[in-house]
């Protein structure tokens, strides 16, 4: 596996066509919980070049690893992370993917940072409502250089924040090519090594070659999800992890790569890594 600095060089080199692997919330299952240092380290060990994570603010202002708007799925609690202090959350039962109480508890961003120092690129997804606090923690730990911030390009408040922080890296998310002009404007003000496209159908404008070529002409790489989370959620124009695992990498991941995708976000980092290294051998 490459070290994180080499992976960052690849990410920020617009001429490098090395496909990179981003792992969605880390590699988690059973009692290894999503958005924890253990899940992220496991993902790196399975070939991920970067790990995507979600963060939330507690009632007492601490930043923790958590994705959902509510706590129903992982805590069986209808409340929100912001309704409770860190101590209260640490004392709550966290349920694993078998529906059983987990050995792990929710982790703070401090704990996650401690576990990932000099290990991998941190892609910060759902945390745009607490970017100031997140950045302070990164700066305190001298880990800003390991981080990339993601946000929806149409979020004007996030766009303005990104434009003011030219020393940070940003990967905006885009589903409507009508916002490409805003991507170009942002790239003139701060560092935008890649753009995440959000195609549901092969015919979507964001998935067309001209869109990806437009980005390349401006030194911006293309990130695309291959997640297969639900029959109701379509990622990567349907060229997803499930298709890749069922029919071979060429049917899913390979199609994204042939379209010009540079970074694939997956729940199956080892299988994608093996496909990139060896071709279809599942």
Exposure of 10 by Cβ count < 10 A (0-12 exposed, 13-18 middle, 19+ buried)?
buried
Q: Is residue 80 part of a domain?
A: no
For the beta carbon of residue 185, count every other beta carbon within 10 angstroms: 12
CATH of the domain at 21: 3.20.20.190
Q: Is residue 230 part of a domain?
A: yes
Q: Quick one: pLDDT at residue 282?
A: 56
Using a cut of 0.85, tell me whether the model's pTM lies above it: yes
Mean pLDDT of 246-270: 97
Is the model's pLDDT at 281 over the cut of 60?
no
pLDDT bin (cut points 50, 70, 90) of residue 31 is confident
Q: Is residue 93 part of a domain?
A: no
Spatial separation of the C-alpha atoms in residues 104 and 94, rounded to whole Å:
7
Do 218 and 187 meet the contact criterion of CB atoms below 8 Å apart? yes
Q: Is residue 91 part of a domain?
A: no
Please give the residue range of the domain that contains residue 173: 4-55+109-278
Q: Is residue 249 part of a domain?
A: yes
Q: Each residue of 157-181: pLDDT tens digit?
A: 999 999 999 999 999 999 999 999 9
DSSP code string of 87-125: HHHHTS--B-TTSSB-S----BHHHHHHHHTTT-EEEE-
Q: Quick one: pLDDT at residue 97?
A: 82
Do 150 and 124 meet the contact criterion of CB atoms below 8 Å apart? yes
Q: Is residue 70 part of a domain?
A: no
Q: Is residue 79 part of a domain?
A: no
Is the model's pLDDT at 229 over the cut of 70?
yes
Is the model's pLDDT at 131 over the cut of 90?
yes
Is the model's pLDDT at 142 over the cut of 90?
yes
What does the H/E/C string look like for 9-57? HHHHCCCCCCCEEEEECCCCECCECCCCHHHHHHHHHCCCCEEEECEEE
Q: Is residue 200 part of a domain?
A: yes
More confident residue, 110 or 279: 110
What total of structural domains would you count in the chain?
A: 1
User: Comparing 36-45, 120-129, 227-236, which segment has the lowest mean pLDDT?
Assistant: 227-236
pLDDT bin (cut points 50, 70, 90) of residue 2 is confident
Spatial separation of the C-alpha atoms in residues 177 and 206, rounded to whole Å:
6
Mean pLDDT of 47-60: 98
């Amino acid at each position: 596996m490459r070290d994180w600095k080499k992976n960052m060089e690849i990410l920020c080199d617009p001429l490098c066509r090395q496909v990179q692997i981003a792992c969605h919330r880390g590699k988690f299952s059973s009692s290894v919980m999503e958005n924890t240092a253990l899940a992220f380290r496991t993902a790196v060990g399975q070939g991920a070049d970067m790990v995507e994570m979600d963060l939330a603010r507690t009632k007492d202002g601490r930043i923790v690893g958590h994705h959902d708007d509510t706590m129903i799925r992982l805590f069986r609690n209808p409340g929100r992370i912001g309704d409770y202090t860190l101590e209260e959350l640490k004392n709550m039962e966290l349920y694993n993917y078998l529906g059983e109480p987990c050995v792990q508890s929710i982790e703070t961003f401090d704990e996650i940072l401690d576990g990932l120092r000099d290990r991998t690129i941190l892609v910060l997804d759902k945390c745009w409502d607490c970017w100031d606090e997140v950045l302070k923690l990164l700066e305190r730990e001298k880990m800003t250089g390991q981080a990339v911030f993601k946000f929806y390009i149409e979020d004007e408040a996030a766009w303005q924040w990104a434009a003011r922080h030219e020393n940070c890296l940003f990967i905006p998310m885009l589903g409507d090519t009508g916002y490409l002009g805003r991507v170009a404007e942002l790239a003139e003000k701060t560092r935008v090594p890649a753009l995440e496209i959000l195609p549901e159908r092969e015919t979507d404008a964001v998935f067309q070659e001209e869109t990806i070529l437009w980005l390349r002409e401006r030194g911006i790489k293309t990130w695309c999800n291959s997640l297969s989370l639900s029959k109701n959620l379509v990622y990567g124009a349907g060229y997803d992890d499930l298709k890749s695992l069922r029919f071979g990498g060429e049917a899913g991941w390979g199609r994204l790569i042939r379209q010009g995708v540079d970074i694939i976000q997956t729940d199956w980092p080892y299988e994608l890594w093996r496909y990139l290294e060896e071709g279809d051998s599942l």
